[in-house]
Amino acid sequence: VGSRQIDVGTTNKPLMAAAAVLLLIPNVGLLWVGSYARVEPVVAGFPFFIWYQFAWVFLCSACTATALRLIRLARPRRAGGAR
């Protein structure tokens, strides 16, 4: 189902794996609640539980943005390919 597009050049597998890891990191960091369910260290009055999660807003953006760049490097542009 669906017309497969023809790759122009081969996919760089290590780069793709690196991108997959980058996408996995935020999931582990946030779903493993036990690792951050604590008060110390408090930063600017915010318990660790709060600021740790908020920090992931920026860390996760960095992860997805880097993953996007890696994937574009790993897979040379496809004709008509969506991004």
Partner 1 sequence: MNAGINYTALGVLVALFVLVTVMGFWASNWRRGEHLESLDEWGLGGRTFGVWITWFLIGGDIYTAYTFVAVPAAMFATGAVAGFFAVPYTIILYPIIFIYMARLWSVSYRHGYVTSADFVRGRYGSRELSLAVSVTGILATMPYIALQLVGIQAVLEVVGVGGAGSFIAKALPLIIAFALLAAYTHSAGLRAPAMIAFVKDTLIYIVILAAIVYLPAQGVPLNLTPEKALTHNAPTPGKFAAAAGWNVGFVLNGTPPKAPAFGRLLAWDPVKQKEAWRVEHVAPWNGGTLTTAGNLVFQGTAEGRFVAYNATTGEKLWESPTGTGVVAAASTYMLDGEQYVSIAVGWGGVFGISQRVTELQSPGTVYTFAVGGKAPLPTFVKYQTEGLLKGVKYDPKDVDEGTAIYVAACAQCHGVPGVDKGGNVRNLGYVSTETIANLKDFVFKGPFRDQGMPDFTGKLKEEDIPKLQAFIQGTADAIRPKSN
- What token pair was written down for 68? 């996007």
- What token pair was written down for 31? 């779903």
Contact residues for partner 1 (CB under 8 A)? 1-3, 22-24, 26-27, 30-31, 49-50, 53-54, 56-57, 60-61, 63-64, 67-68, 80-83
Least separation, in Å, of the C-beta of 40 and partner 1?
Answer: 15
Q: Looking at the DSSP assignment, which residues form a beta bridge with residue 43?
A: 46
Least separation, in Å, of the C-beta of 74 and partner 1?
Answer: 14
Which residue, 76 or 81, is less far from partner 1 as judged by CB? 81
Q: Are 39 and 47 in contact (CB under 8 A)?
A: yes
